[in-house]
Structure formats: structure tokens, C-alpha cells
A = this chain, B = another copy of it.
Amino acid sequence: MITTWAIAQDAPPPAEAPAAEAPAAADAPAYATYDDFKAGPEYAGFLANNLWIMIAAALVFLMHLGFATVESGLCQSKNTVNILFKNVFIVCIGALGYMFYGFNGMYPGWEAGVSKDFFALGKPITNSFDDAGQVANMTTAYATGPMTYWTDFLFQAMFAATAATIVSGAVAERVKLTSFMIYATVLVTFFYPITGSWKWGYGWLNTMGFHDFAGSTLVHAFGGFAALAAIIILGPRKGKFTKDGVKPILPHSLPLATIGVFLLFLGWFGFNGGSVLSADPQAVSRVFVTTAMAGFAGGIAAMITSWVVLKKPDLSMSLNGILAGLVGITAGADDISPYGAVATGAIAGAIVVISVLFLDKLKIDDPVGAVSVHGVCGVFGTLAPAIFGTKSFGTQLIGTLSVSAFAFVASLAIFIILKVTMGVRVSAEEEHEGLDVAEHGAPAYHIS
């Protein structure tokens, strides 16, 4: 077996010839011991590269606090504990599921007999710190690679839980807790690695040249369209769509939502910047710039768009515009120029406002705008490197639609099965009372 890096970027696909023809050479120990490696010329660079990806993993971890606060801030206070509980659960189970199954399903490597094009069975990661095909024998792959096996695992594990977290916001305020916990576990453990492997695990989308640098499609559109299926089955919150039109349900804490968006922005430096899979100065600094400028442009564009359409300066639309800009640049952060990034972010920021209003027209109730931010802007973002960068529009379109469709169908299937077996929605009484007291027996706030 040749070990390679689980990639979250569009690295040129590794030449497969050496894998088949000369595995021995690739596995040849470059250094007799780790201490020899530390004394060698590759070490200092390896040190800095690995450090960056560990820090990036920590930043992506923090995005889960971002999601928890933005989702709970945008919902009603009576469902806050429920939302926080779900988010705490998802990051925990997501990482554990990825450890026990997902990582090896998503990055099946070149093991003989494994069909890597569409699907690979997962399995638990190794339990030995030395035996990861790398350290024990100090292979060349290790010595010249950018990070350890464990750094790679943790970074990818932090990504994995994100998909289910996106759904969490959309189904908020009426989903049945136990059903959602089962749904999220299945989605993140079994389904996310499948579409992930299509591109980052060197599957069929990678073979055809699909480009998704850090996951506009593989993470965001996946989560967004899974969310769309879920809320179609689930139905809107009581009182949102009335005979007299759409009745807005006010966010309970905009400071909480603002904290969430800033933390997500911070985490995105790790999400996109870490997807370079090294600290290569040229590559990471351009990704930092395109990511940040797209987020800023998305904020301004959503501000203007919502001001024009809604006739007022809308904070939550502006916040969603920032997220839309960030989602939009994620597929092409390595390929789009600085001003192209501004354009990409601005378009995404305008799209998200229109999309949120359009879903309301369709009477599809998405309390936090997850479908618009992650789904719609995820698809747009995947097309952006064809518009503003160097990629093929057709290939990008095929890639994003395939993954979005798969996520939609998979999510629909799980949700329908859960609906007919244990139910997916709380009772009308519980919804009215709020899930915090009904399901958790405790209110989020008790301010005297």
C-alpha cells in the first residue's frame, strides 16, 4: 500500500503508474529513524507545514461553535438548548464516526481490489501511532510529505461533521431530537464519505477533472441539498406560512448570530487555507486573500441587495451574505484572482438574499437560510472557477449537480424511513411550548 494524503484540494492527481509498478521504491525508507529525519534537510519545512494543518484543524473545529451560535441566534429562544445540544452531538459523533468508518471510506487509497471510483467500504483507522504506513519505516512519502497521518485525519474529521451541522440549522425548531441524531450520524458517517471520495478520494469526479478546492460542493452543497430534502419532508414551522402571507419568526439573539458568523469567518481561514494541505506561502496566502475578500464582498452585496429589496439595512441578511461569499469562493479559492474573488463573493451575497426570499415564496421553511447559503451558493461557487478562473463549466456543473442530487436523494431516503418508523417531527404542543422545555426539561435562559 502506498499512503498518500487525504486531499481536500485539487492537487494534480498523483501519477498512478508508480503505485502499480514501483510500490517498493515509494515505500523505501528515506531515513532509518525519526531522529535521523529530524536531523535531515526536509524536517524544518515539514515542521511548519504540519503545524499549519494542525492549527487549521483547530480553526475548523471552532466553526462548530460558529454554527452553534449562528443557528441558535437566528432561531427562537425556546428552542435554543435543543439547537446547541444537536450541534454538540454532531461534532462529537461526526469525529467518532469518521474515526471508526468514514476516513477510510473517503480515502480508500490504492489498495488492491477496492473500487475507488464510486464507493469504498470504510473501516476503523489504525490504533498505532507508528503504524500508519509512514512513521514506522520513515518512508519517502512521509519524509517528503507535508504532514503526519494524524494531522491529516484530524483535519478531515473536522470537515466531516460540517455537512450534518448545515442540516441542523434548516430543520431547527420542529425536528424530533432522536430522529435527527440518527439521521446526522448516518449522513456524516456513511454518506458524506461517499461523495467525498468521488473527488478527494480520487474517484470518478476527480478523474474527469472536476475542481472543488475546499468543498463548495463536497461539503456545502452536500449539506445544503441534504437540508432541502429534510425540510421538504419535515414541513414548515407552525405559523410561518399563513393565509395572510409569510409571517417572519424573529431571531432571538442577533449578537449570538453575529458571534457565529465571525467565528465561521475565522474558521474559514483554516477551512480554505488548510485545504492547501501545506503552508506553501504562495498558495496559502492567495487562498487567504481570495477567501477574505469574497467574504467581505458577500457582506456588502447582501447589505445592498437586501436594502433595495426589503427597504431596510438587514443585519441577518448581511451576515448570511458574508457566509454566502465564503461558500462561493470555497471551490475556487486557489484558482480565482483577487478581483475575481470580490466578484464571486458579491454575486453569492446577492444570490443568497434572492434565494432566501424565493424559498419563502415556495413555502419551504429554512429558519437560518442554510439551503440558500450552503446549497445554492455552494452550486454557484462550484461554477465560479469556470466563470472567473480556468475550469470547465460543463465539468463543474456535472460535479456539483451529481453530488447535490446524491445528497438530496440520500437525505430524502433517510428522512422518509425515519418518518414512517419513529417520526421526524415533534408534536404541535411541543413545538408551541418550545423544544427546550419539552425535550430537555430546561430553558436556555433564566435571566432575573
> Which chain A residues have a beta carbon within 8 Å of chain B's beta carbons?
34, 38, 43-52, 54-55, 57-59, 61-62, 64-65, 68-69, 72-73, 76-78, 80-81, 84-85, 88-89, 91-93, 95-96, 99, 124-129, 135, 147-151, 153-154, 157, 177, 250-256, 258-259, 262-263, 265-266, 269, 273, 279-282, 284-286, 288-289, 292-293, 295-297, 299-300, 303, 312-316, 318-319, 322, 337-340, 342, 434, 439-448
Q: Which residues from B are CB-within-8-Å of A34? A: 282
CB-based nearest B residue for A266: B62
A sample of 15 cross-chain residue pairs with beta-carbon separation below 8 angstroms, ordered by A number, consists of: A38-B280, A44-B45, A54-B273, A77-B446, A77-B448, A80-B254, A88-B322, A89-B299, A92-B299, A92-B303, A96-B300, A125-B338, A135-B282, A177-B313, A312-B439
Query: Could you tell me if B262 and A337 are in contact, using CB atoms closer than 8 angstroms?
Result: no
B46 and A43 within 8 A (CB): no
- Find out whether the CB atom of B285 lies under 8 angstroms from the CB atom of A148: yes
Given A255-B72, A255-B253, A447-B445, CB of A61 within 8 Å of CB of B281? no
Given contacts A69-B258, A126-B338, A252-B447, 11 further A-B pairs with CB under 8 A are A44-B45, A47-B48, A62-B262, A72-B255, A81-B254, A88-B322, A92-B295, A129-B337, A135-B282, A150-B288, A151-B288
Which residues of chain B come closer than 8 Å to A129, judged between CB atoms?
282, 286, 337-338
In the assembled complex, how far is the CB of residue A305 from the closest CB belonging to chain B, in whole angstroms? 14
Is there an interface contact between B252 and A441, defined as CB atoms closer than 8 Å? Answer: no
Interface centre among A263, A315, A446 (most CB of B within 10 A): A315
Q: Indicate if the CB atoms of B262 and A259 lie closer than 8 Å.
A: no
Instruction: Give this chain's copy count.
Output: 3
The interface centre, meaning the residue of A289, A316, A434 with most chain B CB atoms within 10 A of its CB, is A289
Give 3 nearest A-B pairs by CB, closest first.
A44-B44, A65-B262, A50-B281
Contact of A51 among B255, B279, B316, B337 (CB under 8 A): B279
Residue of B at shortest CB range from A252?
Answer: B446
Task: Tell me the complex Cα distance, A151–B446, Å.
Answer: 42
B58–A269 contact, CB under 8 A?
Answer: yes
Asked whether B284 lies within 8 Å of A84 as measured between CB atoms, the reply is no
| A253-B444 contact given A127-B338, A127-B339, CB 8 Å threshold | yes
CB distance from A187 to the nearest CB of B (A): 17
By a CB distance below 8 angstroms, the chain B residues around A80 are: 254-255
A286 to B54 Cα, complex, angstroms: 10
Taking a contact as CB atoms under 8 Å apart, the answer to whether A148 and B282 are in contact is: yes
Report B-chain residues with C-beta under 8 Å of the C-beta of A150: 285-286, 288-289
